[in-house]
Amino acid sequence: MPKTIIVSNRLPVKLTETDGQFKLAPSEGGLATGLGSIYKQGDNIWIGWPGHEVADDDVKKKVTAQLNEQSLLPVFLTQEEVSQYYEGFSNEVLWPVFHYYASTYANYQQSNWDFYKRVNQKFKDEVIAHAEPGDTIWIHDYQLLLLPDLVRHEIPDISIGFFLHIPFPSYEMFRLIPWRAELMNGILGADLIGFHTYDDTRHFINAATRILPVNSSANIITKGDRTIVAEAFPIGIDDKKYTSLPSEPEVKKNIRLIKDTFGKQKLVLSVDRLDYSKGILQRLQAFEYLLEHYPEAKEKITFYMIVVPSRDTVPQYAHLREQIDKQVGNINATHRTMEWTPIHYFYRSFPLEMLSALYTTADVCLITPMRDGMNLVSKEYIASRINNDGVLILSEMAGASKELIDALIVNPNNTEEVAKTIIKAAYMPLDEQRTRMKQMRQVVAKFNVSHWVKVFMDKLTEVKQLQRSMQTRYVAYGTEQSIINRYSKTNKRIIFLDYDGTLVDFVSNIEQAHPDEELYALFEQLTDDPDNRVVLVSGRRHEHLEKWFGKGKGDIDMIAEHGAWIKRKGASWHRLPGLSARWKEDIRPVLETFVDRTPGTFIEEKSFSLVWHYRKAQKGLGELRAGELMNNLKYLATDKGLQLLPGNKVVEVKNVEINKGRAAMMLIDNTEYDFIMALGDDYTDEDIFRALPESAITIKIGNNVSAAKFYLRTPQEARKLLKNMTEAGVPAQLTK
């Protein structure tokens, strides 16, 4: 039975040690709850670090046995590994860079990176020890970015999903990491890559295409032969847990206690782990501003601030804690009265029953991170508001702000705005509170954690199916044999061959793609057989094709300029009748403005088309301008009966009557061919694939979306197929 293996840095349990005795306690994290529905089923397992160093081998065995009972498999880490892989690399490189704190906190140490690689290998060994073909592996978060590719290497066909719980930064941030290419390559080992928001997904795809030689089309990335999908899957919470908690006796008791303590005061709550990304100091500053500028709020609004200890052995975190202590002390000392303390600050974690009571009683929940992947606290507050009242103030930098649009959304850097919003929230009419809260509660209930798990897993299955359908389209040995078979059995054949990108590789200077001896020999082999008619179909100018394949250099038919010019074998070139090129006078000036604004680009002129080339332009800028150019010309082109063709690093404007497909059909005329084949790589070749009869063998070079039936990866593979076709049936000693 195929199983699912979940892999994350931490296991969903806490291992604690008292007087040499190890104990396991369940962790309340949302991830543990959400994935609990998976890893506890059948043979499924969860692999991760138990969170505590165990040095003794006997104890390791005991702990392992205890964990195994719950389908959990430990990866034991030494103190040194924890300090370099986890604290050093994960938390001092990836965490700050991914949260846009690269310049302040990132510390790029080679030895930390070496440990990061080593520990990812260690996780890989554990995965490989348990994974079997057919299994599904779901890897989580920034500590294991190399793992997807490491596993892929060992079991190439296995299904791998990866989810990043923190933001994915813009390429400008990510590129700062010295080991960016290795990290990117590691992530791309997955089949499906999930993020919290669309912006994270966009940043990731952009970084991937800039750092590695991969292509993307919408959210599909093509790396060599593999199709990878990147998509947003906003994580949810176990909403039912938070809606039912307020009716539990322990929680009720806590609610009464809080109400007795704070009476009629408006309670503003915040809950975060100690972290610079959470905006705690900026929030305190906003509260101080409120006390100074809205003195009427004094003794009426109380701020209840919980900071959960985290990473406080790291100097940056210890320093942050000192700053928070100091700032809270100052504010309280300045504004406190006999009856009232402005900030109730706790540096510790609370039992869930107290947390729930606070969520249930707080009039306002103030969540203002500088950056946050999602932020689960905001969703937990919403789920706890069973009376549909209360107000959520949420930073626009938290992933949750994309879903909880009925919250009061603020920029956490804007002190005055945050202060004003707290006042607005504290005095918001009940009607408005309810309207907003109801909407948000629907979102939190529908997109809960089980929904998140389900949509991710369903998508992973879909991606695997997509890959399989791509695989069957590849001209592998079996398909090649049946093509060759058909070729051998037929005697009236026509073969359409595109030139650039199909028979020769793309080069940045278009003049340099000169045919080589091997290609001439291939043409000779093909045309030696009187049953073959070979047609070279190109977007190039006819003079160009004539120079390369004219008299004596190729016994073939040719279609130039996408069909504007045709030359039948042995005859001379002739132009498609009735075409006009007067439109060029209006279009050329537009293209010239793009050449002036975009260094490295130029215009190529053909009889019935103008081409703007941007192959040598700055990466990204060329694509941006191409989009702009297409937009600019859209209406003008339709008016003048022109077609805009976005090709490989070109935008071509041509008469709409010119079309490779139509030209190909003109050559076929009414002749009954028993073998029709077409090879092409470009957008313009799609016209041929579509125009040819159903029985034709159409092959795209490159595995992008196409109307072609099959694909091959490179011009070299295309040449090899053609060569093998011609050599079929020829006695072996006669072949070269």
> Which residues contact ligand GDG by CB under 6 A?
28, 30, 165-166, 235, 271, 273, 306, 308, 349-350, 352, 355, 372-377, 380
Nearer CB in complex with ligand GDG: 354/667: 354
**Containing H/E element for 458?**
helix 449-473
- Smallest gap from Cβ 619 to ligand GDG, in A, equals 31
635 close to 629: Cβ distance less than 8 angstroms: no
Minimal CA–CA distance to 308: which of 16, 79, 28, 36? 28
- Which residues, in sequence order, are CB contacts of 478 under 8 Å at separation 6+? none
- Smallest gap from Cβ 650 to ligand GDG, in A, equals 42
- Smallest gap from Cβ 109 to ligand GDG, in A, equals 23
> Among residues 498, 500, 681, 687, which one is catalytic?
498
168 DSSP assignment: P
Nearer CB in complex with ligand GDG: 166/205: 166
User: What DSSP assignment string belongs to 697-713?
Assistant: EEEEESSSS-SSSEEES
Nearer CB in complex with ligand GDG: 374/633: 374
- Which residues, in sequence order, are CB contacts of 210 under 8 Å at separation 6+? 171, 175, 619, 620
- Which residues, in sequence order, are CB contacts of 580 under 8 Å at separation 6+? 655
Nearer CB in complex with ligand GDG: 402/649: 402
- Smallest gap from Cβ 18 to ligand GDG, in A, equals 20
- Smallest gap from Cβ 194 to ligand GDG, in A, equals 10
Q: Based on C-alpha coordinates, what's the Rg of the chain?
A: 32
How far is 604 from 542, CA to CA, in rounded Å?
Answer: 13
Burial of 12 (0-12, 13-18, 19+ CB in 10 A): buried
- Smallest gap from Cβ 226 to ligand GDG, in A, equals 26
Burial of 543 (0-12, 13-18, 19+ CB in 10 A): middle
- Smallest gap from Cβ 51 to ligand GDG, in A, equals 14
Minimal CA–CA distance to 24: which of 15, 35, 34, 33? 15
- Which residues, in sequence order, are CB contacts of 161 under 8 Å at separation 6+? 136, 137, 138, 139, 190, 191, 192, 193, 194, 456, 457, 460
- Smallest gap from Cβ 99 to ligand GDG, in A, equals 8
**Is there a catalytic annotation at residue 498?**
yes
Nearer CB in complex with ligand GDG: 50/167: 167
Tally of helices (H runs) and strands (E runs) in the chain: 27, 29
SS3 state of residue 394: strand
Residue 110: Cβ within 10 Å count: 9
- Smallest gap from Cβ 346 to ligand GDG, in A, equals 8
Nearer CB in complex with ligand GDG: 372/561: 372
Token readout for 582 is: 């007067």
**Containing H/E element for 675?**
strand 675-680
How far is 450 from 458, CA to CA, in rounded Å?
Answer: 12
- Which residues, in sequence order, are CB contacts of 399 under 8 Å at separation 6+? 167, 196, 197, 200, 234, 372, 373, 374, 375
How distant, in Å, are the alpha carbons of 12, 397, 446 from that of 45?
11, 34, 27
449 close to 235: Cβ distance less than 8 angstroms: yes
Nearer CB in complex with ligand GDG: 29/515: 29
Nearer CB in complex with ligand GDG: 399/680: 399
How far is 502 from 489, CA to CA, in rounded Å?
Answer: 25
Nearer CB in complex with ligand GDG: 367/537: 367
500 DSSP assignment: B
How distant, in Å, are the alpha carbons of 502, 562, 565, 638, 694 from that of 663?
18, 8, 9, 22, 17
- Smallest gap from Cβ 364 to ligand GDG, in A, equals 17
SS3 of 91-121: the string is HHHHHHHHCCCHHHHCCCCHHHHHHHHHHHH
444 close to 234: Cβ distance less than 8 angstroms: no
- Smallest gap from Cβ 653 to ligand GDG, in A, equals 47
Nearer CB in complex with ligand GDG: 166/408: 166
Amino acid at 168: F
SS3 of 567-630: the string is ECCCCCEEECCCCCCCCHHHHHHHHHHHHHHCCCCEEEEECCEEEEECCCCCCCHHHHHHHHHH
- Smallest gap from Cβ 380 to ligand GDG, in A, equals 5
Nearer CB in complex with ligand GDG: 193/699: 193
Nearer CB in complex with ligand GDG: 365/418: 365
Distance, C-alpha 660 to centroid of its chain: 35
Q: Among all residues, which ones are annotated catalytic?
A: 498
